[in-house]
């Protein structure tokens, strides 16, 4: 007799890092819509595969700047698609995200960047860049500012497009650079520093490791609080822990099913019901939101699966 892998066991066997969970999601639904974001008066989308390409370029760009494992990279921006891409790029490079609210005062921005020893900052616009440059002499660890909206200065400040171009150049020379960085990250490695508001003194950095985010994502996935056909409207600041949880959840969907052996009931040519077994190669979402597993040449509804095994 074989054992069925329960939701609780799937949570227990969650991926080792955010980067690994993200890759699992890309492999499960490469052409599925990952993010929808406003552009002018309309909306544009990124598939999971397209998201991976952007994230890999950002991660490789950070590696090309010399960012090392668990070093901090800050984001000072409002909620937007580039925040999500930068955050994933940071963690896939093996570094850790330091979150900064765009409303944070220049003095507190300087303190957070200094206290966290952040090496790079993603700054939303000229206003955020100015907060940093005005205190540049107090930030000896800082080696680059990446501006999301605006132009670079040919020195300390570079654009997001320039960072991604550096990343693509590195990947042309070392195609597995980001994959190697993701593989090196473990559950207890630092993923995020979220600073308190500082109402009782200086802001304090709260350390969150990769396992914090992968557990939340896998647990919500197992409880089916959100389903694959749900659309989340991210309006909370992603500098806030709950905003980051909502962003993390969608990466977990069905990631644990890829490569699993499943048994399911099917009807043969004679009209008889029989049990079939095979390995899950891909996961997709049907027209009515049902989860479909590609098992050999068949598309199997997850609700028809009788057992799942490693």
* The predicted structure's pLDDT at residue 227: 65
- What's the helix, strand, coil split of the chain in %, to 5? 40, 25, 35
Q: CATH for 7-249, among 3.40.50.12780, 3.30.559.10, 3.40.430.10, 1.10.1040.10? A: 3.40.50.12780
Report if pTM > 0.85.
no
* The predicted structure's pLDDT at residue 292: 78
* Local structure of residue 200 (DSSP, 8 states): T
* The predicted structure's pLDDT at residue 225: 74
Q: Which helix (H) or strand (E) holds 222?
A: helix 210-223
Q: How far apart are CA 282 and CA 284, in angstroms?
A: 7
Q: Is 126 exposed, middle or buried (0-12, 13-18, 19+ CB in 10 A)?
A: middle
Q: How far apart are CA 48 and CA 254, in angstroms?
A: 14
* The predicted structure's pLDDT at residue 26: 87
**Strand-pair category, 144-147 with 190-195:** unpaired
Report whether 265 contacts 304 (CB < 8 A): yes
* The predicted structure's pLDDT at residue 206: 93
The torsion angle over the Cα atoms of residues 102, 60, 34 and 222, rounded to 10 degrees, is -90
* The predicted structure's pLDDT at residue 232: 85
In tens digits, the chain (310 residues) has pLDDT values of 333 445 676 677 788 999 999 998 888 778 888 999 999 999 999 999 999 999 999 999 999 999 999 999 999 999 999 999 999 999 999 999 999 999 999 999 999 999 999 999 999 999 999 999 999 999 999 999 999 999 999 899 999 999 999 999 999 999 999 999 999 999 999 999 999 877 788 889 999 999 999 998 888 877 777 766 678 888 888 888 888 888 887 777 555 566 778 888 888 888 888 888 998 877 766 666 566 788 988 888 876 778 777 6
φ/ψ of residue 231, rounded to 5: -115, 120
* The predicted structure's pLDDT at residue 253: 58
Structure tokens at 163: 């960072």
Angle between helices 81-92 and 241-249 (to 10 degrees): 80
Whose structure tokens read 């220049």? 106
Query: How do the domains of the chain map onto residue ranges?
Result: 7-249, 259-309
Q: How far apart are CA 159 and CA 151, in angstroms?
A: 6
| DSSP assignment string, 49-67 | HHHHHHHHHHHHHHHHHT-
* The predicted structure's pLDDT at residue 298: 87
Give the bridge partners for 190, in sequence order. 209
């Amino acid at each position: 007799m074989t054992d069925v892998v329960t939701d609780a066991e799937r949570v227990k066997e969650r991926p080792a890092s955010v980067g690994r969970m993200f890759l699992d999601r890309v492999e499960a639904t490469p052409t599925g819509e990952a993010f929808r974001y406003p552009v002018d008066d309309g909306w544009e989308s990124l598939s999971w595969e397209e998201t991976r390409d952007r994230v890999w370029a950002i991660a490789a760009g950070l590696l090309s700047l010399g960012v090392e494992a668990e070093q901090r990279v800050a984001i000072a921006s409002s909620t937007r698609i580039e925040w999500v891409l930068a955050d994933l790029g940071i963690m896939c490079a093996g570094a850790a995200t330091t979150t900064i609210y765009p409303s944070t005062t220049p003095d507190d921005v300087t303190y957070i960047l200094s206290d966290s020893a952040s090496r790079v900052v993603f700054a939303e616009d000229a206003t955020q860049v100015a907060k940093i440059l005005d205190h540049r002499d107090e930030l000896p660890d800082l080696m680059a500012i990446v501006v999301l909206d605006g132009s670079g200065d040919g020195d300390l400040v570079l654009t997001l497009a320039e960072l991604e171009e550096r990343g693509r150049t590195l990947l042309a020379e070392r195609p597995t650079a980001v994959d190697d960085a993701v593989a090196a990250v473990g559950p207890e490695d630092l993923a995020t520093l979220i600073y308190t508001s500082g109402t009782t003194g200086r802001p304090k950095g709260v350390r969150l490791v990769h396992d914090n985010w992968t557990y939340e994502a896998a647990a919500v996935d197992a409880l089916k609080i959100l389903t694959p056909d749900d659309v989340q409207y991210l309006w909370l600041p992603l500098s806030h822990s709950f905003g980051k949880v909502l962003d993390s959840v969608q990466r977990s969907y069905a990631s644990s099913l890829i490569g699993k052996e499943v048994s399911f009931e099917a009807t043969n040519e004679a009209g008889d019901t029989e049990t079939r077994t095979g390995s899950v190669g891909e996961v997709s979402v049907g027209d009515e939101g049902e989860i479909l597993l590609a098992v050999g040449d068949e598309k199997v509804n997850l609700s028809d699966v009788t057992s799942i095994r490693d």
